[in-house]
Structure 1
Amino acid sequence: ISPCGQYGTTIATDLAHNLNAKPRYVRNALAHDRLAVQSFQTDDARTFHDLIPDIPIGILDADRPTDTELTELSQWADQINPQHTVTDQALVDRIHQLGMTTNVWTVDEPGAIRKMTTLGVDGIITDYPQTLTQRG
């Protein structure tokens, strides 16, 4: 992990420090399933997980993760959140088989939203959430 600040801290350790300073907020947010940390940087996500293992971790990925990567990530990550364009039924099924959930991103077209829904994804990251409630 490369240092981000002049004192050798990383974004993961800074975030963990700030959240640890607010234990009541963290307890309340976790009790209501309103807190998770996501990152494209697997090393930072792992560092954060090691510091605060109770907070769910999501790994964002623009590329399709390999089965080896998925298996390794399932040892400590809670979510695999791939770009929707690399997501298919086999990937969703494998993520679920390994005990993780999946939230696909960034799904803005109604047809793509419907497709992801039929695959059984656990969540959809979109710039247009109103699309999810429209009938059509």
Structure 2
Amino acid sequence: EQVEADPAQLTTRIKTLARRLGADLIEQDVHLSADGRLVVIHDPTVDRTTDGRGYVKDMTLAQLKELDAGSWYGPEFAGQRIPTLDEVLEWARGRVGLVVEIKNGPVFYPGIEEKVVEALEAHGMEGKVVVISFDHRCVRRVKELRPGIATGILYVARLADPVAAARAAMADALHPNANYLTAEDVRQAHRAGLAVSTWVVNDPLWAEELARMGVDSIGTNYPDRLRSVC
């Protein structure tokens, strides 16, 4: 399983807990700060998950680091800071693999793909990370930059031809929302040499059904619940 990382899970404490609970991969969402630093946070704004307000793109890293990113989730997480992708990669190296979702829309970050690739290389994590995005052009750009980095396309729909969409993005995998995934989709993907990773599944019975369908990985907020069936 992979852990779907809501912002509270983007702290060292929660990452460590996720690993102890049996996660094979931990999912991260990345945005760019005003001074061009890759930061790990789910939303394009800091409003929901910190004590600040505003867009990530309009704040420098120093400003973002001043924010409390944990109290909204629980008092025991008070004072947790928004991490950079560099910090997460350094922590993960030798410990656990990562899924890095590049957030590109509705706020767009020109050049974010190059920065992500550079960060992966700087930390020797190219072979330990899967890069995904709802922006399929973004996925294609990563593959053009470094063909050896594993990639996947995210989508929340019944695509007319998922395999064709993956091919257009030069992707290695499909990452559909579980509500829109069928057994035939999985079979077609596998015949085309594509992996299938679906999300977000917190019900063990649903996870068991998806496992029978042959999905390669499942994104969940509760890896310990799914370990008995996956």
Give the TM-score range, shorter chain. 0.7 to 0.9
Q: TM-score, normalised by structure 1?
A: 0.80
Q: TM-score, normalised by structure 2?
A: 0.49
Structure-to-structure mapping, 1:1-136, within 5 angstroms: 4=109, 9-20=110-121, 22=122, 25-26=124-125, 30=127, 34-67=128-161, 69-74=162-167, 76-134=170-228
Report the count of equivalent residues: 123
Matches of 1:25 and 1:18, distance apart in 2: 9
The alignment's C-alpha RMSD in Å is 2.1
Q: Verify the 8 A CA contact 2:198 2:219 in the aligned structure 1.
A: yes
Q: Verify the 8 A CA contact 1:3 1:10 in the aligned structure 2.
A: no
Matches of 2:226 and 2:108, distance apart in 1: 40
Note the residue ranges of structure 1 that are not aligned, 5 or more in a row.
none
**1:108 shift after superposition:** 0.7
Q: Verify the 8 A CA contact 2:139 2:151 in the aligned structure 1.
A: yes
**1:133 shift after superposition:** 2.1
Higher strand share: 2
Give the letter aligned to residue 173 of structure 2.
Answer: Q
Identity %: 25
Give the letter aligned to residue 115 of structure 2.
Answer: D
**1:3 shift after superposition:** 5.7
Show structure 1 runs of 4+ deviating over 3 A: none
**1:111 shift after superposition:** 1.7
**1:81 shift after superposition:** 0.8
Aligned twin of 2:65: none
Change (3 A) 1:112 1:3: closer
**Greater RCO (Cα-Cα under 8 Å, separation 6 or more):** 2
